[in-house]
């Protein structure tokens, strides 16, 4: 069916009908069909404008269709897009150098999606455990947290505690142990002689922007160092400015052994992710043991270099801290009886409703009618994560829309 035929089926309804007929039903989106984006705004096929408060789950921190990233992408696409890692390309080395300098890393392993970065870290940690720590072959254990979200592969959902993510997809790979998020004592008790890594989100995004107690990550770092365990921080959502620091680990002054980034690493233009590491841990990988056809391709590297440059040169980290604090304060001032809690850091904020408030989906639909796009998570929580270019005036407008709905 062509675009003209879709228009004859009344635009939005037509697109939704075709999706329902031909698409797998693994998402439940709001009934808005978007066709264009610029900055913090997107437009639907009928011309209505919305302020985007999801940022594609933090993939467009730099704003939609940022012109500098677009320019880099178009230029590189006209020169060279893909060689595979069978050959070298002139974008990979500067990407490595610039990313390491920005994040204080020693080594980079580029991949495509966040889930691929997580899978890479799991493989590296296990191999390190066998070759460096001396764990008996096949006995490596990795500790994860209750409420985690690290992707959708079979291995990853195998250690998820979300029944919807996990149910019906077994059998699962062994070797994972689950502890409560934010409980350093539980982490300490779970560490054994075969523990090779602790994988954790600095802030749990999909769980509803759950922030651990102050000092938790610092204590986790101390425990991992003490027991010879690799600390893996999944910063795919929290990284690259979202929380008001370049990496969320900076809030507690720590450095992980492996840090995972993605999403905003390309500004929403292209799937790019990376595993950042110290030299010791990454040194266990040798040619032929891990790779990706598209990982580290010249187009991805050129786009990522431009995306990182925008974050730094346009002060997006500092803006997230300042405007995020303003928005969070305005939401807290609402004092709406339906709101149980406002929590967040930088421009990663959640509005949790009381269970008897009628559900977060209803609120998101009402916000959509006012020109604001947000998405519910776990029935009663609305996540607010606009692009990091958000202005104070736009933050105030967001708070006004919530006030009008709540």
In sign, the C-alpha dihedral spanning 173, 174, 180, 185 is negative
Classify residue 357 by its DSSP letter. G
What is the full DSSP assignment across 111-150? ESSHHHHHHHHHHHHHHHIIIII-PPTT--EEEEETT---
Question: Taking CA 159 as the corner, what is the angle to CA 237 and CA 340, rounded to the nearest 5 degrees?
Answer: 55
Active-site residue, from 127, 245, 263, 328? 263
Told to judge if 162 belongs to the known catalytic residues of this protein, a careful annotator would answer no
Active-site residue, from 95, 149, 269, 294? 149
Q: Which residue has the tokens 């006209």?
A: 78
The answer to whether the beta carbons of residues 386 and 347 sit under 8 Å apart is: yes
Spatial separation of the C-alpha atoms in residues 74 and 76, rounded to whole Å: 6
Told to judge if 263 belongs to the known catalytic residues of this protein, a careful annotator would answer yes
Spatial separation of the C-alpha atoms in residues 206 and 152, rounded to whole Å: 12
- 271: helix, strand or coil: coil
Q: In what helix (H) or strand (E) does residue 34 lie, and over which residues does it extend?
A: strand 34-38
Spatial separation of the C-alpha atoms in residues 136 and 126, rounded to whole Å: 11
Active-site residue, from 44, 52, 234, 257? 234
Q: What tokens appear for 118 in the block?
A: 């997580």
Q: What tokens appear for 374 in the block?
A: 């947000």
Q: Where are the beta strands (DSSP E) in 264-354?
A: 273-277, 339-345, 348-353
Count other C-beta atoms under 10 Å from residue 179's C-beta. Answer: 20
The answer to whether the beta carbons of residues 67 and 306 sit under 8 Å apart is: no
Spatial separation of the C-alpha atoms in residues 12 and 25, rounded to whole Å: 18
Spatial separation of the C-alpha atoms in residues 166 and 56, rounded to whole Å: 23
Between strands 230-234 and 34-38, the pairing is unpaired
φ, ψ of residue 21 in degrees (nearest 5): -75, -40
- 253: helix, strand or coil: coil
Told to judge if 31 belongs to the known catalytic residues of this protein, a careful annotator would answer no
Spatial separation of the C-alpha atoms in residues 307 and 269, rounded to whole Å: 9
What is the full DSSP assignment across 368-379? HHTTEE-EEETT
What positions carry a catalytic annotation?
Answer: 149, 234, 263
């Amino acid at each position: 069916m062509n675009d003209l035929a879709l228009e004859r089926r009344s635009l939005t309804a037509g697109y939704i009908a075709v999706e329902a007929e031909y698409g797998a039903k693994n998402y439940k989106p709001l009934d808005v069909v978007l066709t264009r984006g610029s900055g913090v705004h997107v437009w639907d096929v009928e011309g209505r404008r919305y302020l985007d408060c999801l940022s594609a789950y933090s993939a467009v921190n730099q704003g939609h269709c940022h012109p500098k990233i677009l320019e880099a992408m178009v230029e590189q696409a006209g020169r060279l897009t893909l060689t595979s890692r069978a050959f070298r390309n002139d974008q990979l080395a500067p990407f490595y150098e610039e990313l390491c300098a920005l994040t204080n890393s020693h080594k980079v392993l580029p991949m495509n999606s966040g889930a691929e970065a997580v899978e890479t870290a799991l493989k590296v940690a296990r191999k390190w455990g066998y070759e460096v720590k001396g764990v008996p072959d096949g006995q490596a254990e990795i500790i994860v947290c209750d409420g985690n979200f690290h992707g959708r592969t079979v291995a990853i959902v195998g250690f998820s505690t979300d029944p919807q993510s996990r149910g019906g997809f077994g059998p699962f790979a062994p070797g994972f142990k689950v502890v409560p998020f934010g409980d350093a004592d539980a982490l300490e008790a779970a560490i054994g002689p075969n523990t090779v890594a602790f994988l954790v989100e600095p802030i749990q995004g999909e769980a509803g922007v759950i922030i651990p107690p102050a000092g938790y990550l610092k204590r986790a770092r101390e425990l991992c160092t003490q027991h010879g365990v690799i600390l893996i921080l999944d910063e795919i959502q929290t990284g690259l400015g979202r929380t008001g620091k370049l990496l969320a680990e900076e809030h507690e002054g720590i450095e992980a052994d492996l840090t995972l980034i993605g999403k905003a690493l390309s500004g929403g233009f292209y799937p790019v992710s990376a595993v950042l590491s110290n030299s010791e841990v990454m040194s266990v990988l040798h040619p032929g043991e891990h790779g990706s056809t598209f990982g580290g391709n010249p187009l991805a590297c050129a786009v990522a270099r431009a995306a990182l440059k925008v974050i730094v040169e346009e002060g997006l980290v500092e803006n997230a801290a300042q405007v995020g604090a303003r928005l969070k304060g305005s939401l807290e001032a609402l004092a709406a009886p339906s709101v149980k809690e406002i929590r967040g850091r930088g421009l990663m904020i959640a509005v949790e409703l009381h269970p008897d408030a009628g559900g977060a989906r209803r609120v998101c639909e009402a916000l959509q009618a006012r020109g604001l796009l947000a998405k519910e998570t776990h029935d009663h929580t609305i996540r607010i994560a606009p692009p990091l270019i958000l202005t104070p005036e736009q933050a105030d407008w967001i708070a006004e829309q919530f006030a009008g709905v709540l």
